[in-house]
A and B are shown apart, each in its own frame.
Chain A
Amino acid sequence: MIVQRLGEIQHKFGYLPDDELKALSKRIGEPLHRLHEVASFFPHFRLKPGPKVSIHVCRDMACHLAGAPALHSAMEGVASEFGGKQQVEVKGVSCLGQCDHAPAACVNDYVYWDKSPQQLRSYVELGLSNEPLPRQHAGEDRLPWKIDPYFGREVTYDAIKRFVDTRDADGIIKSLETSTLKGMGGARFPTFRKWASVRGAPSPVKYAVVNGDESEPGTFKDRELLRRAPHLVVEGVILSGLVTGAKQGWIYIRHEFEEEIEAVRREIQRAVAHGACGSKIYGSELEFDLDVFVSPGGYICGEESALIEAMEDKRAEPRNKPPFMVYSGLYGRPTVMNNVETMSWVPSILLNGAEWYRDAGVNGSTGMWFISVSGDVNRPGVYEIPFGLTVGEMIDDLCQGMKPGKTFKAIAPSGPSGGVLPHFIPRDRLPERFASTLPADATGYDVRQLPLDPAKLGQLDNMLGAAIVIVGSGANMVDFARNLVEFYANESCGKCVPCRLGSHKLAEMIATMMKGNYPRSNLKTIDELARTMMITSICGLGMVAPNPIATVMKYFPEEIEPYLA
């Protein structure tokens, strides 16, 4: 309970005074260094008294493209107007999950979007005069999504009821297998296999956890699912518990998602009242306790083992794997962990049939998914689409084209993780396997034709995540890569050497490069570093951190050239 206790102290004092930490240490019998390790790891906790008002401007991807640096300087102007750092602090912050209305900013931990510098200035004034700040609300209406089998009617947890009657756990696992449902957090691990492993693990105690940490720049689909349709993830995780034998579960949500946390808490209460959750589910002997775990914050918490560490009151540092979560997860017990969206698809797959989901894909792909699109398009947002829809269809049909005056220059198909692809890839920059499938006279590949399917992106040595950022003409790709690599340097937990040092050195090297006259031989060093980070880092963060600069060097060498000596 360290994380929760620290949160309470911070809430009371505005920071974590030493004396309070010492008293806490005595009270709960944990050594001081344990408290300090946790308190100093999560940026949310302050070890010193803070300023009266703090402004945090998002610095990542979509916000960066949408002018966050300008907003940041405007806010610094506001700060100096009100007496500088002691009174008003301006800091950059990692993605707040509001990429569809970039740039976003926080004032005293309240998240705002679509606000002018003048509006934010008025909030600062309110804060300085101890007036309450207004909260900005997002829509909570349910939408006619296919994922929601209860759309237009009362939520009745039919899939849970059916399980209580049939007890057909193996049937559910079989359905998930047929459906081709894979992990929607980005790793695309077959869901049925995870559930089957945990179900087969011989431990008397197991846990179920939903990963709702959604902190990758450009990703905000879980935010919508949690707020608009929390009953889906609640029903999904209860089913995962019933199938695997886990009797306790948590929905882990990043602390910035206040409305989403409230929505899920309300839904859990409703589910308990309805008999779908808690002890004696629908009058049977089945039981499953469910709660929300509010994340102390940080992108790394989205890494499944780091998330578990945070839940265990430790620094959110990824574990060495193996052992894998399904055998040794939370408190060393088998743990079934799925992304919010993955869990949310389970009820509709079970109620509408596995084939219903599988056959929804287009262009030879299977299944459906949610994407968050941001960047230089007219209508950024969250869309429920079939796998296999092309990039062109996505930009033109869903997002209603590029922003005025912009043409499609590049796409980041997995937030910052996969780096970028240009709108057109010349033949000689395509992997040979891929190039050989093109007509003989094609000079390259038009990325508008690219079906959004993980396998297809794999063929391009890239990956498909839930965050799709469209970059329009005029963007400086080297600067964009620097921005992305800096995100990783900011979010590295610091546990392993390749990521702790590599991500930082890489960001520094790109910044130096952008000053010009950069020795050509250093590109080789960057290459070597990228290779080493890829194969020696403990977790995905360190493995993908060099991708932005590596892909820019590969696909946009002409933009690197001017900086070289």
Chain B
Amino acid sequence: MQITDDLVQFVYEGRTLAVPTPLRDRLNQPMITIKIDGESVEVPQATLKKDENGRYIKDADGNPVLRETTIYDAALLLAEKTGHNPIPLLCHREHLTPVAVCRVCVVDIDPNGRAKLAPACQRQVEKGMEVRTKDTSERVREAVALLTEMLMADHPSPCAKHAASKDCELELLAEEMNRTTSRFPKRATGGEDRPRDDSSVVIAVDHSACIMCDRCVRGCNEIRNNQVIGRMNKGYTARIAFDLNENMGLSNCVSCGECMVSCPTGALTNRATVFDSIKDKKAFKGSEVVHADDLVKLPLFDGVSHAFLRFNEGAVVRRHFKNGEIICREGDFGSTAYYIEDGKVDIYLATSFNHVKSRKGKGAGLLGGLINRFRSELVTRKQEPREEENYDKYIHIDAPVSLEYEKPIAELVKGDIFGEMTCMNSYPRSATVRAKGDVTVLEMQRNVLYILQRSKKSKKMLDDRYRARAIDNHLRSVDIFADVAESPAEFERFVTRLRPQVDLYRYNNGDTIFNQGDLADAFYLVRSGFVKVTQKHMGADHVLNYVGPGGYIGEIGLLTGFPEIQKTGVAAGRRTATCTALDHVDLVRISAEAFQGLLDDFPAFRNKVIATASKRLEDNARALHELENSSLAQFLDQGLMNATSLLVLDLEKCTRCDECTKACSDAHDGVTRLIREGLRYDKFLVASSCRSCLDPYCLVGCPVGAIGRSKSREIIIKDTCIGCGKCADNCPYGNINMHSLPAQMKADPAHPDKLIPVIQQKATSCDLCRELDGQPSCVYACPHDAAHRMTGHELLDLVRLGPG
């Protein structure tokens, strides 16, 4: 299918991509066979370039990038069969762009054995190629051995890496080639131009062990885009440098550690002292640091670089808990994730599910005055249903299960990981975890979790676990599947069908998941992290929503064939918005084909998803309409245009009596939700109170998904609030307040007959006092008719046109 002059639609590995024609043609070329040391192997001529998470890398124009199959790729494929890869490497890794500078991967491709050798990491395979490696070609063997020997002449053996863990890649190769001693003269200069640099607190730099393989340079600039490491000087004096040849600690280095993990030798090593912190910080009884040598024996860590684990010694701690001991508490701050090595735990929410309710007290009325007119209390959504609140059946937490609203407790078992969002994104703990019998957990820091998720083997283990164990609960907890889930048999069929069809993807903060206008080729469920949904409108990007755990994105573009969606005028088969990862986001990807199959076979799902998509489109259209009518620069500068409900005080009428603030405080149990201070605009003061922003930053990061927008786009705090305060921190206008309430005794979720004390703290924001006469108490209380509620746009009109 022709999309534009240059792009065609192409299905590759089950994904529909828009690719330039020549690229499609290249991918469509037949497999070819080459021989390596006499063994045949069949390979594709080219594949699409992927990052270490298996996602297609795109170029500046947004097109997928072609990766020509190299001789080394073919050798890897062959090694899967033979168990032996005869081609050594120093400067190359599969996820890096080959530079072919170390030349130890050279092979002979000349049938006469005379021409220059070819670097296997970079040279493309060609039909009928007969490759001879050091195993079968004497001149290749001599060259590889001699290059190794020359490198060893200048190498401080054993280097820091080899001394610590016997895994310096150069020294291992020297052992293999029997060239641990060198006939070549050593480097004469040692000190000045190849110094040690201990200026970084995390990474030790020893320029004398550097072999200029360029892996750290690519790690820093290509993989992490930190843009700090470069090469300096030329020829024999060349070495790596940070920024303008600063010491590492003084450079713009952010200590991400990528260079250290990339380095094959002891040139960039970890300064071991830094990671001792978690063991020391919390003096848990019976906690012990798990050493790298022990970690690699665990299946979960099987694929992780030993060097990395050794560099990060102290970042994994083993903890033992007895029955009933608390492992972590909801609302707590933390920076670690837990892996259950043995035993079971209860994961639950101890918080009472209710919200702060204000109502008129006794004696209210004309005579009662304003004093004590209101009181606050906690009520549940059953006692006081707020029509605007969505009735969630599930609470999405930072664990491989979602909790049921009616019974918010679940069990995690051996092999489960919980606390990933806290660990990766520094969100407060979403739930309380308590040992159920004797339990052993591994508590790990962010860098270890990150590397686990990047390791192919570990990721596969975790992904398989999700497919086998967590997918059922996850799908059940997502509202669009709720109708299917009502029939157990139907749901079973649904899950079984979907299980093998889901792909798990991880995005880092700032990554684009898809762009508005792209071909819609998949539907995504959010497992963890937050996705920002934006739409281009009148030349600017506007935030439509933030989607967190339990949410989903990408359905609209797949539904454009249905009349309900078609009539809204969205482009067929295209993304209607851009989705960007705000932090570390885990997504479950369901391809367009699989999604279509679900629509066809599960009418309950189809009806629900179409209804939801229609509503989303309607909401978005309304939000953008509100935006359309003004664009005054100053107004925008002050952030007022964002507002849908401002408390505006007319300063010509206002006597500064502060009755509005008092009324608010009275209405909310002594905690005011407004401050008579704020931005001035013309003769108006815009008091600080919830503005129900168009771009509500407060929605990002709630560990239990308890903050949301109601149908009227007003911020609503749900009963499941655990009082952690994240949203209050997030609100840039300081307009969400934490409301402390007396501690209560509450039934233990695990043992309903037992009462436990629960500290009550709930987030509150201005709810426009809807329960009070339909007029906010601040406006009601103003004796001077100076306080009014209005939208940003109304305020603008008021200033521009005058009243009326």
Answer yes or no: do A and B interact. Answer: yes
Apart from A322-B124, A531-B139, 17 more pairs, CB < 8 Å: A22-B244, A32-B227, A33-B228, A33-B241, A34-B227, A34-B230, A37-B232, A320-B98, A494-B238, A496-B101, A497-B212, A500-B236, A500-B238, A528-B146, A529-B184, A535-B116, A543-B116
* Bound form: Cα–Cα A529–B151 in Å: 13
A536 in the interface (beta carbon within 8 A): yes
Q: Specify which chain B residues have a CB less than 8 angstroms from the CB of A528 in the assembled complex.
A: 142, 146
Per-position binary interface string of chain A over residues 502-529, scored 1 when its CB falls under 8 Å from any chain B CB and 0 otherwise: 1111001100100000000010010011
B243 in the interface (beta carbon within 8 A): yes
Give 28 pairs: A residue, B residue, CB < 8 Å, sorted on A.
Answer: A31-B221, A31-B243, A32-B243, A32-B252, A33-B221, A33-B227, A33-B242, A34-B227, A37-B230, A37-B232, A37-B241, A40-B234, A493-B238, A494-B235, A498-B147, A498-B150, A501-B150, A502-B150, A505-B185, A508-B185, A509-B185, A512-B185, A525-B183, A529-B150, A531-B143, A532-B142, A537-B103, A538-B100
Q: Specify which chain A residues have a CB less than 8 angstroms from the CB of B103 in the assembled complex.
A: 496-498, 536-538
* Bound form: Cα–Cα A538–B102 in Å: 10
Nearest chain B CB to A501's CB is how many angstroms away? 5
B119 in the interface (beta carbon within 8 A): yes
Contact present for A35 and B244 (CB under 8 Å): yes
A163 in the interface (beta carbon within 8 A): no
Q: Specify which chain B residues have a CB less than 8 angstroms from the CB of A509 in the assembled complex.
A: 184-185
B229 in the interface (beta carbon within 8 A): yes
Contact present for B235 and A489 (CB under 8 Å): yes
B634 in the interface (beta carbon within 8 A): no
Q: Specify which chain A residues have a CB less than 8 angstroms from the CB of B228 in the assembled complex.
A: 31, 33
* Bound form: Cα–Cα A532–B116 in Å: 10
Which chain A residue lies CB-closest to B241?
Answer: A36
Complex partner residue of B143 from A300, A493, A532, CB under 8 angstroms: A532
Contact present for A40 and B227 (CB under 8 Å): no
Q: Specify which chain B residues have a CB less than 8 angstroms from the CB of A18 in the assembled complex.
A: 244
Q: Specify which chain B residues have a CB less than 8 angstroms from the CB of A531 in the assembled complex.
A: 139, 142-143
A210 in the interface (beta carbon within 8 A): no
Q: Specify which chain B residues have a CB less than 8 angstroms from the CB of A31 in the assembled complex.
A: 221, 227-228, 243
B117 in the interface (beta carbon within 8 A): yes
Per-position binary interface string of chain A over residues 258-286, scored 1 when its CB falls under 8 Å from any chain B CB and 0 otherwise: 00000000000000000000000000000
Nearest chain A CB to B145's CB is how many angstroms away? 9
* Bound form: Cα–Cα A528–B245 in Å: 36
Contact present for B244 and A36 (CB under 8 Å): yes
Most buried by B among A35, A496, A531: A496
Q: Specify which chain A residues have a CB less than 8 angstroms from the CB of B142 in the assembled complex.
A: 528, 531-532
* Bound form: Cα–Cα A36–B103 in Å: 26
A491 in the interface (beta carbon within 8 A): yes
B643 in the interface (beta carbon within 8 A): no
Contact present for A494 and B183 (CB under 8 Å): no
Contact present for A36 and B117 (CB under 8 Å): no
Cβ < 8 Å to B, chain A residues 523-565: 525, 528-529, 531-532, 534-538, 543
Nearest chain B CB to A223's CB is how many angstroms away? 24
* Bound form: Cα–Cα A534–B117 in Å: 9
B211 in the interface (beta carbon within 8 A): yes
* Bound form: Cα–Cα A168–B449 in Å: 65
Contact present for A41 and B233 (CB under 8 Å): yes
* Bound form: Cα–Cα A344–B252 in Å: 49
Which chain A residue lies CB-closest to B183?
Answer: A525
Which chain A residue lies CB-closest to B184?
Answer: A505
* Bound form: Cα–Cα A33–B146 in Å: 32
Q: Specify which chain A residues have a CB less than 8 angstroms from the CB of B99 in the assembled complex.
A: 320
Q: Specify which chain A residues have a CB less than 8 angstroms from the CB of B232 in the assembled complex.
A: 36-37, 40-41
Contact present for A497 and B150 (CB under 8 Å): yes
A193 in the interface (beta carbon within 8 A): no
B316 in the interface (beta carbon within 8 A): no
On whether A40 and B241 interact (CB within 8 A), knowing A490-B235, A491-B235, the answer reads yes
Contact present for B244 and A32 (CB under 8 Å): yes
Q: Specify which chain B residues have a CB less than 8 angstroms from the CB of A512 in the assembled complex.
A: 185
A315 in the interface (beta carbon within 8 A): yes
B106 in the interface (beta carbon within 8 A): yes
Nearest chain B CB to A384's CB is how many angstroms away? 34
B154 in the interface (beta carbon within 8 A): yes
B122 in the interface (beta carbon within 8 A): yes
Cβ < 8 Å to A, chain B residues 212-251: 212, 221, 227-238, 241-245
Cβ < 8 Å to B, chain A residues 412-428: none
A54 in the interface (beta carbon within 8 A): no
B153 in the interface (beta carbon within 8 A): yes
A495 in the interface (beta carbon within 8 A): yes
On whether A494 and B241 interact (CB within 8 A), knowing A31-B227, A508-B185, A536-B143, the answer reads no
Q: Specify which chain A residues have a CB less than 8 angstroms from the CB of B231 in the assembled complex.
A: 37, 315, 494
Per-position binary interface string of chain B over residues 112-126, scored 1 when its CB falls under 8 Å from any chain A CB and 0 otherwise: 000111010011100
* Bound form: Cα–Cα A31–B221 in Å: 10
Which chain B residue lies CB-closest to A505?
Answer: B184
The 4 closest A-B pairs by CB, nearest first: A33-B230, A494-B238, A31-B227, A504-B236
A251 in the interface (beta carbon within 8 A): no
Q: Specify which chain A residues have a CB less than 8 angstroms from the CB of B104 in the assembled complex.
A: 497
Provide the main secondary structure of the chain B interface: loop
Nearest chain A CB to B79's CB is how many angstroms away? 23
A492 in the interface (beta carbon within 8 A): yes
By a beta-carbon cutoff of 8 Å, the part of chain B in contact with chain A is 98-104, 106, 115-117, 119, 122-124, 139, 142-143, 146-147, 150-151, 153-154, 183-185, 188, 211-212, 221, 227-238, 241-245, 252
Q: Specify which chain A residues have a CB less than 8 angstroms from the CB of B100 in the assembled complex.
A: 320, 496, 538
A21 in the interface (beta carbon within 8 A): yes
Most buried by B among A35, A41, A494, A543: A494
* Bound form: Cα–Cα A536–B123 in Å: 13
Q: Specify which chain A residues have a CB less than 8 angstroms from the CB of B252 in the assembled complex.
A: 32
Most buried by A among B154, B231, B241: B231
Contact present for A501 and B154 (CB under 8 Å): yes
Which chain A residue lies CB-closest to B225?
Answer: A31
Nearest chain B CB to A280's CB is how many angstroms away? 28
On whether A21 and B244 interact (CB within 8 A), knowing A320-B119, A497-B151, A529-B146, the answer reads yes
Contact present for A538 and B101 (CB under 8 Å): yes
Most buried by B among A36, A298, A543: A36
Contact present for B153 and A40 (CB under 8 Å): no
* Bound form: Cα–Cα A497–B234 in Å: 12
Q: Specify which chain B residues have a CB less than 8 angstroms from the CB of A543 in the assembled complex.
A: 116
Most buried by A among B154, B185, B211: B185
Contact present for A497 and B101 (CB under 8 Å): yes
Cβ < 8 Å to B, chain A residues 276-326: 298, 300, 315, 320, 322
Contact present for B101 and A495 (CB under 8 Å): yes
Which chain A residue lies CB-closest to B146?
Answer: A532
Q: Specify which chain B residues have a CB less than 8 angstroms from the CB of A37 in the assembled complex.
A: 230-232, 241
Nearest chain A CB to B651's CB is how many angstroms away? 43
* Bound form: Cα–Cα A290–B244 in Å: 34
* Bound form: Cα–Cα A33–B229 in Å: 6
Q: Specify which chain A residues have a CB less than 8 angstroms from the CB of B151 in the assembled complex.
A: 497, 501
* Bound form: Cα–Cα A535–B184 in Å: 19
Nearest chain A CB to B134's CB is how many angstroms away? 12
Q: Specify which chain B residues have a CB less than 8 angstroms from the CB of A315 in the assembled complex.
A: 231, 234
Which chain B residue lies CB-closest to A491?
Answer: B235
On whether A494 and B212 interact (CB within 8 A), knowing A41-B233, A504-B235, A536-B117, the answer reads yes
Q: Specify which chain B residues have a CB less than 8 angstroms from the CB of A41 in the assembled complex.
A: 232-234
Q: Specify which chain B residues have a CB less than 8 angstroms from the CB of A34 in the assembled complex.
A: 227, 230
* Bound form: Cα–Cα A490–B234 in Å: 9
* Bound form: Cα–Cα A535–B117 in Å: 5
* Bound form: Cα–Cα A503–B150 in Å: 11
Nearest chain A CB to B46's CB is how many angstroms away? 13
* Bound form: Cα–Cα A32–B253 in Å: 12
Which chain B residue lies CB-closest to A502?
Answer: B150
* Bound form: Cα–Cα A36–B183 in Å: 35
* Bound form: Cα–Cα A497–B100 in Å: 10
Nearest chain B CB to A369's CB is how many angstroms away? 26
Nearest chain B CB to A333's CB is how many angstroms away? 14
Q: Specify which chain A residues have a CB less than 8 angstroms from the CB of B119 in the assembled complex.
A: 320
